[in-house]
Chain A
Amino acid sequence: MKAFKFVRPRTCEEASKAVQAESNAILKSGGIDLLDRMKEHVDDPDTVVGLVDAEGLEAIRIEDDGAINIGAKVTLQQLADSEAVQRFLPTLAEAAGLAASPQIRNRATIAGNLAQHTRCGYYRRASFPCVQRGASECPVKQDGAVQDTAGVFDDECVSAHPSSIAPVLGSLEAQIKLRINEVSMFALFDNLWIRRDGKPASHAQLPEGAVIEAIHIPARSEKQYVGFAEIRQKAAFDWALVTCAVRYALDPDGKIGDASVWFGSIAPAPHQSVPAMRALLGQECTDKTIQAAAEASMKNAKPVPGAAYKVKLAKVALKRALEHARGRS
C-alpha cells in the first residue's frame, strides 16, 4: 500500500473535521475491508482517519422510548453477544453471529460493515475494467466472465453487496446517525447507496465530511415478527450467496399490516423488495402467502446467466426468513 498519514481524532466531531481538512482522507473503523483495498491499490488515500481513539461510539443503548442506539464501533461479536440485541433485535444478533470468522467478528464494526465495498473480483483489481471506475460496460455482463457472484438485477453494475447485516438493518428501518462537524443528523438507510449522479452505488456513499456515529433502530409498539436467512456454501468465513431479512406486524384481524423485506448479496446495494412487501400486506402469513411473496420478490430479476441460480436461492431465502419470523414466538 501507499504510505499514508494516520490521524487519530478523539471525537466524532474531530473525525469529521479531519476528513475534510486532510488531503484525500478516508475513514477507518475496524479496517477489515479498507486495508485489503489499500493493499490492492483500489484505494490510495493520503490520510487515514482512524476512529480507534474516538470516544462515545462503543455502546449499545436502549433509549427511553425503547429505540436502540448502536455505536458505530460496536463489533459484530458484541452485537451477537449482546443480551439486549438478542432480546429486542434477534435477527441482528443472528446475522452478526454468522458473519465472517471469530477473528474478524472481534475486529469488524457495524459501521465498517455497512461501509464495506463489494467483493466483486473485477472491482477489486485495477487491471480489470469496471463501471465503478468509469468503464462503459461491466465485464461481468459479457460472455466468458465469471458471473456466479453477481447480483440478479440488470443494474449498470451487477455486483453483489456483501453485507449480511445491512438487509437486517434495512428490515428494521434503521436510521444512520451521521456527524458532520458539530451537527448530528439522521440519514435514511436507503439513501446510503445512491451515488451523487443518482445511480446505484456498490458501496455506501456518505455526505461530504460525514462520519457514522451510530445506528438507530426505532422502537415499535406492536409485536414484531422478524426473520433472517443466509445461504452460503461454507459454515464460516464465506460470503453469502443470498441473505434475506424480514419484519412484519399483524393487524388485529391477524393479517399482515406492516412488512419489510430486504435482501443482501443480490444487488450492488442492500435490496428492498417492494413487490414482496406488497404481496404480504393484507394477507395472513400462510405458506401460500409466503410463496406468493417469494415469487413477487424475483419478478423483476434479470440475472446474467451465471447468476441465474441465485434467483432460486433468493426465493428460498425469503421463504425461510418468513418461516423463521412466523415461527418465532
Chain B
Amino acid sequence: MPRQVTYKVGIENFEKYRKEVEGAVQEITVEVHELDAEPWPVDTPLRHVGHDIPRLDAPAKVTGAAKYTYDINTAGMTYCGFVTSPHAHAIIKKVDASKAESMKGVLGVKTFEGNRATYPGYIAAGVCAESPGILDDALQAIQVDYEVKPGPCTTEDAMKPGAETVDMRGESNVRGGRPMQRGKIDEAFGSADVKVAGEYRTAVQTHSCLEPHGSVVQVNPDGGATVWASTQATSGFARGAFLRGLGVQRNRVRVLTEHMGGGFGSKFGPGSWDAIAAEFAAKTKRPVKMLLSRRMEHLLGGNRPDSIQKLELAGTKDGSFLGIRGETWGTAGNGGRGAGATNTMVYNWPARAMRQNGVNTFSMWGRAFRAPRHPQGSFAMEAIIERYAHEIGMDPLAVRMKNDPHPIRQVQWRIGADRIDWKKNRRKVPGSDKGVVKRGLGCAAARWSQAGRHMSRGGPYTVDIAIDREGNVTVANCVQDIGTGIRTVMAILAAEELGTDPSLINVEVGDSRLKPGPGSGGSTTSPTIGPAVRTACVVAKDSLKALLALEWNVDESKIEWTDGDFVDPAGKRATFPQACSLIGDDGLRVSGQRQRNWTSPYRETAGCQFAQVSVDTETGVITVEKVVAVHDCGRVVDALTARNQVNGGVIQGISYALYEEKQLDRNLGDMVNPTFDTYRIMGMADCPEIDAVMTSVVSGFNNAGMMGLGEPATVPTAAAVANAVFNAIGVEVPELPMTPARVLTALEGKQG
C-alpha cells in the first residue's frame, strides 16, 4: 500500500541566506509507493550523497584504458568515408566512381546520383575500403558533376522575397510561428513609464564534439549485429534507415556505448552516414568503422541555430516589469525548426507577446544543443533588462530580484552577489573606468525544468541489481554515461542505500541489452535513473531481509535496516556483508522501477551567474576574469561532478559569448572555418576563475529529490558576460560572439 509521507523540502545549508527568503524550505506531503525508498528530507546527513566523490572511470579515462567508439578495432576492420557536395544547393548529376571501384582494397561504393543536395556536406558517395589510406585514395578518385543552383545560406538572404526555397513546394523559407500571447500586452505598453527596445543577434554554434559522430558496425555470423555507437541513446539507436541498412531484426542488434566523447544533444539517432556504414557492413560481412572527419563534424554534426531577436520591454520607474514583446528569426538550416529563442523566461512578466519564426536555409539542419533556444534567448532578454535598469537608474541585480518569483533563485542571487562582491566591483556608472582596459560586472539567471521521468514508451525505467555472497554489488541499466558521470551517481546512491562504499559498486551501463533507460537529453539522466537505483536497493534489502528471516526464524517484516545493519526486535544484528553471505551461489538478482514523480513546490531548477570581465578598448579583446555560478539541480548527489558540470557549462557559455561562429561564405554556402584552429573555441588558457556553487535543493519530485543540471549551467553565461561588457564599456555589444571587430564597432558607435 502507498504511504503518506510528510517531510521538509527546499534548500539545504546556506542558513544565513535561506532564512531571509520565504519558501526556501517548505513542508510537503507525498504518496510513496510501497516498494519505493523513503524520501530524504532537507539537511539529512548522508555518508556519500552530496560529498565530493571522484568519478569512478576517471583513472580509465586519464590512462587511456577507457575505450571510445573511435578506439574499437576488431579483426577484419574496414573503413567507410564520404565524398560530399561543396555547394549550398546542387543536383548531383553524375558520380563517376569507376576508378575507385576498380582499386584494390575498395570493398564497396554507393552513389547518390540524381539527389538534390540542399546543404554543403551532403553525401554524394560513400566508400568502404580495407584501410584508411585506400579509402582516401578512392574518395579522391571519385568525380562528381553538380548542377549548381541558387542556395541562400544566411537567415537574411533566405528571408528575401523570391529566394530559392529549401522546401520545393514551399513559397517561402520563413516558417512563421504561432504568436504567443499572455496577459494584456497593449495595456502593459500603453501604461508603461519606461519602454526599451533592442535588436540582438547570435551566430550559429556547432556542437564540436571531441569524438565525432559515428559508429563501428558489425554484422555477426549468427545473424545478429553489434554496433559500437557514439550515441546519447543506446536504447533507441537501432532504427530507421540504419536498421534497414543493417538488414538485421531489431531484436538482434546490440548497441554499446561504454564511453562517449561529447554529444551535447547532437547524438541521438543514427545519421545518414551510419546508415551507409550499416549497408556496407551487411554487404561485406565485415566490421565497418565510420566516424566523421572534423570538417564533416562541423558541417553535419549539428548546430545551435542563430537568431535575430527584436525585443521591447515595458516597465515602471521603480523597476517592476509590465511586459515583454517581440519577434525572432532563426535558422537551423534545412529543417528550420527549433530555431526559436526562449526569451520570456525566468521573471514575472505580467504580459508577454512573442512571435518566433524559423527560417529554412541551404545548410545542414540544427540539432538539440545543450539547453536548446535558451542561451540565445537569455542573451537578448537579459540584455534588454540591463538596458532597462540603466534607463531607470537602478541596480540591475535589484531589478532582477524584484521580478524573480523563484524562492531558490532569491537565495542564489544573494550568494552570488556576495561571492563576486557585487556592491564593490560593479561600476555604478557603466564604462567609467579610466584607461584603456576597463572592467565591469554582469549577471543573468538560469532556469530548467526537468525532474526525470518514470517511463518511456519502452516501459518503466528499471535498474537491475545483482549481489553475490561476497557482498559484491552490480547495478545496471542501459543508460549511457556521456561524460557527465551517471556511473558515479549510480554507485553513490547504491552505496548510500546499502551502507557500502561507492568504489566497491560495479556499474554497468551503455548496453542496449540492459533494462530500459533514458536517452541522455534534456538533463533527464540523473533524475530519471538515480531514484530507480534507490528503489532497486530497497527491493534488494527486502530480499536480504527475507533470507535473514529464514536464518533468524523471525517474521521478515520485523527486520529493520538501521544505521547500515539489519536488526530484529530481539537485538540480532547483521552487517550488509553478513547478510550477503546467506545468498546462494547463483546470486541475488532483483530490480527496481522508477516511480512516478510527485509534485514539488520547486517546479523549475534555479541558477544565476555573475561574470567579471576586462575589455581592452583599443583592441576590442574581452577577457573574462571570474565567473560565480550558483546552481540548483535538486539534491546534489556528487558535489564534485556537479561542479564539474557547472564548470563545463560556464566554459561552453563563454566560448559561445566570445568565440564560436560557424562562418559560411554567403555566396557559396560552404563553411570557411571547419577546423579547430579557425573555428575558435575556448581553451584552458582562456578559462577564468570559476566559482561553481551548488545549492542542494531537495525538490520533492522523487525519493532522492534529484533534478537535472547539464543544461541550465550554460544558459546564462553569455548573457552575464555580455552584461559585464556593458558595465565595463558603457555600450552594448548586441551580437554574439563578441569579437574584437564587434566590440570596436560598438565603441565607435558610442563615440559617434
Using a CB–CB cutoff of 8 Å, the interface residues on chain A facing chain B are 1-3, 36, 41, 101, 119, 121-122, 124-125, 127-128, 139, 142-146, 148-149, 231-239, 241, 306, 309, 312-313, 316
Q: For the complex, is B196 an interface residue (Cβ under 8 Å from A)?
A: no
A316 near B619 with CB under 8 A, answer yes
Binary flags per residue of B673-690, CB closer than 8 Å to A gives 1, else 0? 111011010111110000
A148 to B101, CA, bound (A): 42
A3 near B133 with CB under 8 A, answer yes
B672 near A241 with CB under 8 A, answer no
B685 near A235 with CB under 8 A, answer yes
A231 near B619 with CB under 8 A, answer yes
A309 to B741, CA, bound (A): 6
Interface residue from B86, B133, B663, B740 paired with A127 (Cβ < 8 Å): B86
B668 near A139 with CB under 8 A, answer yes
Residues of A within 8 A of B686 (CB): 234-236
Q: For the complex, is B27 an interface residue (Cβ under 8 Å from A)?
A: no
Across chains A and B, which 10 residue pairs bring their CB atoms closest together, nearest first?
A121-B672, A127-B86, A236-B685, A235-B685, A144-B666, A144-B667, A309-B741, A146-B672, A146-B663, A316-B618
Q: Which residue of B lies closest to A139 (CB)?
A: B665
A232 to B677, CA, bound (A): 13
Residues of A within 8 A of B620 (CB): 309
Question: Could you tell me the distance in whole angstroms from the C-beta of A139 to the nearest C-beta in chain B?
Answer: 7
Question: Could you tell me the distance in whole angstroms from the C-beta of B189 to the nearest C-beta in chain A?
Answer: 37
A233 to B621, CA, bound (A): 6
Question: Could you tell me the distance in whole angstroms from the C-beta of B242 to the nearest C-beta in chain A?
Answer: 28
Interface residue from A1, A127, A306, A309 paired with B744 (Cβ < 8 Å): A309
Interface residue from B667, B668, B677 paired with A119 (Cβ < 8 Å): B677
Interface residue from B668, B674, B739 paired with A233 (Cβ < 8 Å): B739
A41 near B668 with CB under 8 A, answer no
Chain B interface bracket (under 10, 10 to 19, 20 to 34, 35 or more): 35 or more
B744 near A312 with CB under 8 A, answer yes
Q: Which residue of A lies closest to B84 (CB)?
A: A127
Binary flags per residue of B389-413, CB closer than 8 Å to A gives 1, else 0? 0000000000000000000000000
Q: Which residue of A lies closest to B676 (CB)?
A: A237
Which residue of B619, B673, B682, B744 has the most chain A CB atoms within 10 A of its CB atom? B619
A146 near B619 with CB under 8 A, answer no
B residues 108-162 in Cβ contact with A at 8 Å:
133, 136-137, 140
**A3-B137, A237-B683 in contact; A139/B740 too (CB < 8 A)?**
no
Q: For the complex, is B670 an interface residue (Cβ under 8 Å from A)?
A: yes
21 contacts between A and B (CB under 8 A): A2-B140, A122-B672, A128-B665, A139-B668, A143-B667, A144-B665, A144-B666, A145-B666, A145-B667, A231-B619, A232-B621, A234-B682, A235-B683, A235-B685, A236-B683, A236-B686, A238-B677, A238-B680, A239-B678, A309-B740, A313-B619
Question: Could you tell me the distance in whole angstroms from the C-beta of A93 to the nearest C-beta in chain B?
Answer: 19
**A142-B667, A146-B673, A309-B620 in contact; A234/B685 too (CB < 8 A)?**
yes
A234 to B684, CA, bound (A): 10
A313 near B683 with CB under 8 A, answer no
B residues 205-253 in Cβ contact with A at 8 Å:
none
Question: Could you tell me the distance in whole angstroms from the C-beta of B139 to the nearest C-beta in chain A?
Answer: 10
Interface residue from A41, A235, A309 paired with B140 (Cβ < 8 Å): A41
Using a CB–CB cutoff of 8 Å, the interface residues on chain B facing chain A are 86, 133, 136-137, 140, 618-621, 623, 658-659, 663-668, 670-675, 677-678, 680, 682-686, 739-741, 744-745
A233 near B658 with CB under 8 A, answer yes
A128 to B744, CA, bound (A): 30
Question: Could you tell me the distance in whole angstroms from the C-beta of B159 to the nearest C-beta in chain A?
Answer: 15
Question: Could you tell me the distance in whole angstroms from the C-beta of A268 to the nearest C-beta in chain B?
Answer: 17
Residues of B within 8 A of A146 (CB): 663-665, 672-673
Instruction: Beyond the given A309-B741, A316-B619, please list 19 additional residue pairs across the A-B interface where CB-CB is below 8 A.
Output: A2-B140, A3-B137, A121-B671, A121-B678, A139-B665, A142-B667, A145-B666, A148-B739, A231-B619, A233-B621, A233-B658, A233-B659, A233-B739, A234-B659, A236-B685, A237-B677, A237-B685, A238-B680, A312-B744
Residues of A within 8 A of B741 (CB): 148, 306, 309
A2 near B137 with CB under 8 A, answer yes
Question: Could you tell me the distance in whole angstroms from the C-beta of B613 to the nearest C-beta in chain A?
Answer: 14
Residues of A within 8 A of B140 (CB): 2, 41
Residues of A within 8 A of B674 (CB): 121
A2 to B103, CA, bound (A): 14
Q: Which residue of B lies closest to A236 (CB)?
A: B685
A316 to B677, CA, bound (A): 24
Interface residue from B86, B619, B673 paired with A121 (Cβ < 8 Å): B673
A146 to B204, CA, bound (A): 14
A231 to B617, CA, bound (A): 12
Question: Could you tell me the distance in whole angstroms from the C-beta of B656 to the nearest C-beta in chain A?
Answer: 14
Question: Could you tell me the distance in whole angstroms from the C-beta of A124 to the nearest C-beta in chain B?
Answer: 8
A233 near B672 with CB under 8 A, answer no
Interface residue from B137, B659, B664, B740 paired with A241 (Cβ < 8 Å): B740
Which residue of B136, B664, B741 has the most chain A CB atoms within 10 A of its CB atom? B741
Residues of B within 8 A of A241 (CB): 619, 740
Question: Could you tell me the distance in whole angstroms from the C-beta of A159 to the nearest C-beta in chain B?
Answer: 12
Residues of B within 8 A of A3 (CB): 133, 137
Residues of A within 8 A of B683 (CB): 101, 234-237
A172 to B672, CA, bound (A): 34
Question: Could you tell me the distance in whole angstroms from the C-beta of B82 to the nearest C-beta in chain A?
Answer: 14
A38 to B684, CA, bound (A): 28
B621 near A231 with CB under 8 A, answer yes
Question: Could you tell me the distance in whole angstroms from the C-beta of B729 to the nearest C-beta in chain A?
Answer: 16
Which residue of B140, B620, B671, B745 has the most chain A CB atoms within 10 A of its CB atom? B620
Question: Could you tell me the distance in whole angstroms from the C-beta of B131 to the nearest C-beta in chain A?
Answer: 10
**A128-B670, A146-B665 in contact; A119/B678 too (CB < 8 A)?**
yes
B684 near A127 with CB under 8 A, answer no
Residues of B within 8 A of A125 (CB): 86, 670, 672
A127 near B618 with CB under 8 A, answer no
Residues of A within 8 A of B137 (CB): 2-3
A144 to B675, CA, bound (A): 20
A121 near B663 with CB under 8 A, answer yes
Residues of A within 8 A of B672 (CB): 121-122, 125, 128, 146
Question: Could you tell me the distance in whole angstroms from the C-beta of A234 to the nearest C-beta in chain B?
Answer: 5
Q: Which residue of A lies closest to B737 (CB)?
A: A233
Question: Could you tell me the distance in whole angstroms from the C-beta of B614 to the nearest C-beta in chain A?
Answer: 13
A237 to B678, CA, bound (A): 10
Residues of A within 8 A of B678 (CB): 119, 121, 149, 239
A122 to B672, CA, bound (A): 7
Question: Could you tell me the distance in whole angstroms from the C-beta of B208 to the nearest C-beta in chain A?
Answer: 14
Residues of A within 8 A of B666 (CB): 144-145
B685 near A233 with CB under 8 A, answer no
Q: Which residue of A lies closest to B86 (CB)?
A: A127
Residues of B within 8 A of A306 (CB): 741
A63 to B227, CA, bound (A): 63
Residues of B within 8 A of A313 (CB): 619, 740
Which residue of A36, A119, A309 has the most chain B CB atoms within 10 A of its CB atom? A309
A119 to B680, CA, bound (A): 13
A234 near B680 with CB under 8 A, answer yes
Residues of A within 8 A of B677 (CB): 119, 237-239
Residues of B within 8 A of A237 (CB): 677, 683, 685
Question: Could you tell me the distance in whole angstroms from the C-beta of B358 to the nearest C-beta in chain A?
Answer: 23
Q: Which residue of B lies closest to A241 (CB)?
A: B740
Interface residue from B86, B136, B664, B668 paired with A1 (Cβ < 8 Å): B136
Residues of A within 8 A of B659 (CB): 233-234
Q: Which residue of A lies closest to B673 (CB)?
A: A121
Q: Which residue of A lies closest to B622 (CB)?
A: A233
Interface residue from A127, A142, A143, A232 paired with B670 (Cβ < 8 Å): A127
A2 near B136 with CB under 8 A, answer yes
A237 to B675, CA, bound (A): 12
Question: Could you tell me the distance in whole angstroms from the C-beta of B666 to the nearest C-beta in chain A?
Answer: 4
A238 to B682, CA, bound (A): 10
